[in-house]
């Protein structure tokens, strides 16, 4: 291998290192909205350097490559311009699948043409053993990312039901497949083309089987996990190609996704293993809580809600996935503006797992022009509910359920929740009394004396309230 | 085998850098974080370009696979950075004239 390193000019290695550093700065910029756009520009420059260096080193001016970049880039750019912000989770899942597929294609290409990648063994007769193992890992992770992301995309996009699909003996099947993939990657060092193909197929099947049993509301974890995998795939290919930029980026993306998965799991008080094992939130998952007699609750109208909020001093708005589904964010911002005109203080409270991906609610509110300094994370605002006059819950449910604090038998026990029940009045926008939350648990907030249920589509309800406020 | 150790060192250190950098990302920007990590992981295009530009000795199949990967990675790079930019452009601070917030 030493001859490969020797033939790589020093400036090339340095250029890739610079690209890697720029990627670090791109993520660093996201520590605050003010520096984030600058960070994104660093990322673009880094990519430009990485691609430019490769083109120069490999003496490329091929029209085919330019055409490929233009076609791909054009498609990507148009999608990025047109996509609705509510569709962001499926877009990200779709993009992950592309990274996975690209990794698989590159690995196969490298396998077929090892000389071009400089991965032949010292005597030039075969691919070096260590390169094969790296390549095997890269192709396996890439394939899992690809098929897993496709399923996640279909579920998030509504082409496939969000309910978990449970195969019998799926745990044994998955573990067996995983073991098979790992063993094959190890043995692959000994070579045969057939083994390579088997690794790809087994890994594709594994990705597919891993994601189908996972239900809709666990998607924040899944999307983060696939994000992480796409990074590890890039890192593995970086080892094969001995490319610093790819290794650094892979490590960054891999740890980023892993941390996000961890944050999402903590926010649901569930272990990563239990989420991945899947099956949560099935139709049968609802325990005794939801069963039985209809409890009395107070139903309110838009006028009532407008009256209560107009006379409040402070309102905290708690959005959830239901707000995204009915695209109510713009109407909601309008409501906030109208209330502020009446002298009411308005704040937004975001639970980490509200929505279908990390930060989903924040993006939607930003889209609707809600200033980000009016939007607060759970731990920053939870203490304020006790002083708030109104908690306005819209399209959220489980993340407000006080049973998570008290009922040890509840499936959501231990999950950090927003203390909406402490507000003087709770206005709860919900489509109907029928559907309990995702976890299938009844929410005692519905039946409190100071709760008013606003049963309607979220957007229509908010628009009606706006009419009464205006 | 010797090349593995320096690479592994870079990888491990980059994992630590990633760990600390990502924890400092504000939760409000977690969606743009995913979009941008997605864009930069398409640095895999470097491998795709090598395959697509390999002039000699390789099979035609390898070249076309490389070109396919270039297309996919380009979708991601342009799409990922553009959508991140679009999202980040929406995060605005409160305008100064915002009325009576201090209440």
Residue located via tokens 């996000």: A260
Per-residue confidence (pLDDT) for residue A273, from 0 to 100? 79
Taking a C-beta distance cutoff of 8 angstroms, is the pair A443, A400 a contact?
Answer: yes
Nearest CA in chain A to B48: A106
Q: Where are the alpha helices (DSSP H) in A29-85?
A: 33-57, 63-82
The most confident of the ranges A111-120, A130-139, A396-405, A420-429 is A420-429
The mean per-residue pLDDT over the stretch A129-146 comes to 89
Instruction: Render pLDDT for A91-100 as a digit per residue (tens, 0 to 9).
Output: 999 999 999 9
Q: Is B38 left (phi over 0), alpha (psi -120 to 50) or beta?
A: alpha
Which residues of chain B make contact with A56, given a CB cutoff of 8 A? Answer: none
Tens digit of each residue's pLDDT (9 = 90 or more) over A345-361: 999 999 998 888 889 99
What ipTM was assigned to the predicted interfaces of this complex?
Answer: 0.89
**Burial of residue A271 (number of CB atoms within 10 Å: 0-12, 13-18, 19+):** exposed
Cβ neighbours of A96 in B, within 8 Å: 38
Distance in angstroms (rounded) separating the CA atoms of residues A23 and A298: 53
Task: Answer yes or no: is pLDDT of A287 > 50.
Answer: no
- The answer on pLDDT for A25 being more than 70 is yes
Predicted confidence (pLDDT) per residue in A1-14, tens digit = 334 444 678 898 89
- Calpha distance A470→A160 (Å, rounded): 41
Pairing status of strand A314-319 against strand A345-350: parallel
Residue A435 corresponds to which tokens in the numbers above?
A: 């559907």
Q: How confident is the model at residue B83 (pLDDT cuts 50, 70, 90)?
A: very high
Residue A363 pLDDT greater than 90, yes or no? yes
pLDDT surpassing 60 at residue A291: no
B48 and A102 in contact by Cβ < 8 A? yes
Q: What is the pLDDT of residues A73-83, one digit of tens each?
A: 999 999 999 99
- Given the residues A373, A389, A398, A407, the one annotated as active site: A398
Query: Which residue matches tokens 């496709």?
Result: A150
pLDDT of residue A439: 60
Q: Do B53 and A60 touch (CB under 8 A)?
A: yes
B91: its two tokens: 């995060």
pLDDT for res A35: 93
Which residues 71-90 in chain B show a CB within 8 A of chain A? 71-90
Q: What Rg value do the Cα atoms of chain B yield, rounded?
A: 21
B21 to chain A: closest CA residue: A28
**More confident of the two residues A382 and B96:** A382
Looking at the complex, does the CB of residue B11 fall below 8 Å from at least one CB of chain A? Answer: yes
Supply B17's token pair: 């850098």
Nearest to A388 by CA among A347, A338, A416, A336: A347
The pLDDT value given to residue A413: 84
Residue A184 is encoded by which pair of tokens? 């094959």
Does residue A45 have a pLDDT over 60? yes
pLDDT in tens, A295-323: 788 888 999 999 999 999 999 999 998 89
Range with lowest mean pLDDT among A55-64, A147-156, A201-210, A223-232: A55-64
Average pLDDT over residues A116-131: 75
CB B77 within 8 A of CB A73: yes
Of the listed ranges A143-157, A203-217, A387-401, the one predicted with least confidence:
A203-217
Can you give the pLDDT at residue A249? Answer: 94
User: What part of A 15-74 touches B (C-beta under 8 Å)?
Assistant: 19-20, 23-24, 26-28, 30-34, 36-37, 39-40, 43-44, 46-47, 50-51, 54-55, 58-60, 62, 64-65, 68-74
Tell whether the model's pLDDT for residue B96 goes beyond 60.
no
Coil, helix or strand for A273?
helix
Residue A436 pLDDT greater than 70, yes or no:
no
pLDDT of A377 over the 90 cut: yes
Provide the shortest C-alpha distance from residue A182 to chain B (in Å): 20
Q: What is the mean pLDDT of chain A?
A: 86
B9 lies within 8 A of chain A by CB = no
**The pLDDT of residue A133:** 85
- In angstroms, the CA B35 to CA B43 distance is 14
Check residue B8 and give its pLDDT.
92
* A442 tagged catalytic: no
Distance, CA of A227 to CA of A209 (rounded, Å): 17
Mutation target vs B (from A70, A98, A236; most B CBs, 10 A cutoff): A98
Asked whether residue B103 carries a pLDDT value surpassing 70, the answer given is no
Contacts of A417 (CB under 8 A, 6+ apart): A351, A398, A399, A400, A401, A402, A404, A405
Angle at B84 between CA A149 and CA A326, to 5 degrees: 70
Per the structure block, which two tokens stand in for A465? Answer: 């309230």
């Amino acid at each position: 291998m030493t001859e490969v390193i020797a033939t790589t000019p020093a400036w090339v290695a340095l250029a890739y290192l610079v690209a890697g550093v720029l990627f670090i700065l791109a993520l660093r910029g996201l520590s605050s909205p003010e520096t984030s756009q600058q960070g994104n520009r660093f990322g673009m420059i880094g990519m430009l350097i990485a691609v430019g260096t490769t083109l120069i080193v490999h003496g490329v001016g091929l029209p085919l490559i330019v055409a490929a970049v233009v076609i791909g880039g054009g498609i990507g750019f148009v999608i990025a311009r047109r996509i609705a912000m509510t569709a962001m989770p499926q877009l990200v899942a779709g993009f992950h699948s592309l990274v996975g597929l690209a990794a698989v294609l590159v690995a196969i290409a490298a396998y077929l043409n090892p000389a071009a990648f400089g991965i032949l063994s010292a005597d030039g007769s075969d691919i070096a053993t260590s390169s094969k193992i790296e390549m095997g890992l890269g192709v396996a992770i890439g394939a899992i990312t690809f098929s897993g992301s496709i399923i996640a995309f279909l579920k998030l996009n509504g082409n496939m039901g969000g309910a978990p699909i449970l195969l019998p003996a799926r745990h044994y099947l998955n573990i067996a497949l995983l073991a098979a993939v790992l063993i094959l990657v190890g043995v692959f060092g000994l070579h045969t083309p057939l083994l390579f193909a088997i690794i790809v197929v087994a890994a594709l099947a594994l990705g597919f089987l891993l994601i189908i049993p996972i239900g809709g509301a666990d998607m924040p974890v899944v999307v983060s996990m696939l994000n992480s995998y796409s990074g590890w795939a890039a890192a593995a290919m970086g080892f094969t190609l001995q490319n610093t930029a790819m290794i650094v980026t892979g490590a960054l993306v891999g740890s980023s996704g892993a941390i996000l998965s961890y944050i999402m799991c903590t926010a649901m008080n569930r272990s990563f293993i239990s989420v991945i094992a899947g099956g949560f939130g099935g139709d049968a998952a609802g325990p005794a809580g939801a069963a039985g007699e209809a409890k009395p609750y107070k139903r309110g109208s838009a006028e009532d809600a407008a009256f209560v909020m107009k006379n409040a001093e402070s309102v905290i708005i708690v959005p959830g996935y239901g707000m995204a589904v009915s695209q109510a964010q713009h109407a909601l911002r309008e409501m906030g503006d109208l209330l502020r005109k009446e002298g009411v203080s308005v704040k937004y409270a975001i639970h980490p797992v509200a929505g279908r991906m990390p930060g989903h609610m924040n993006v939607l509110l930003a889209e609707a022009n809600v200033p980000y300094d009016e939007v607060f994370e759970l731990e920053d605002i939870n203490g304020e509910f006790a002083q708030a006059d109104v908690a306005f819950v819209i399209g959220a449910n489980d993340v407000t359920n006080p049973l998570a604090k008290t009922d040890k038998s509840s499936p959501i026990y231990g999950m950090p929740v927003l203390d909406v029940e402490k507000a003087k009045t709770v206005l709860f926008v919900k489509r109907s009394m029928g559907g309990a939350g995702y976890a299938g648990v009844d929410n005692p907030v519905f039946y409190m004396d100071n709760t008013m249920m606003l049963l309607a589509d979220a957007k229509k309800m908010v628009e009606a309230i706006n009419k009464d406020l205006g | 085998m010797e090349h593995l150790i320096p690479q592994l060192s870079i990888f491990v250190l980059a994992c630590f850098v990633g760990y600390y950098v990502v924890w400092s990302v504000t939760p409000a920007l977690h969606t743009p974080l995913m979009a941008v990590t997605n864009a930069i992981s398409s640095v895999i295009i470097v491998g795709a370009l090598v395959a697509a530009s390999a002039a000699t000795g390789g099979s035609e199949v390898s070249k076309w696979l490389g070109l396919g990967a270039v297309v996919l990675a380009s979708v991601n790079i342009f799409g990922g950075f553009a959508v991140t930019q679009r999202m980040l452009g929406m995060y605005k601070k409160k305008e100064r004239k915002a009325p009576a917030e201090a209440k």
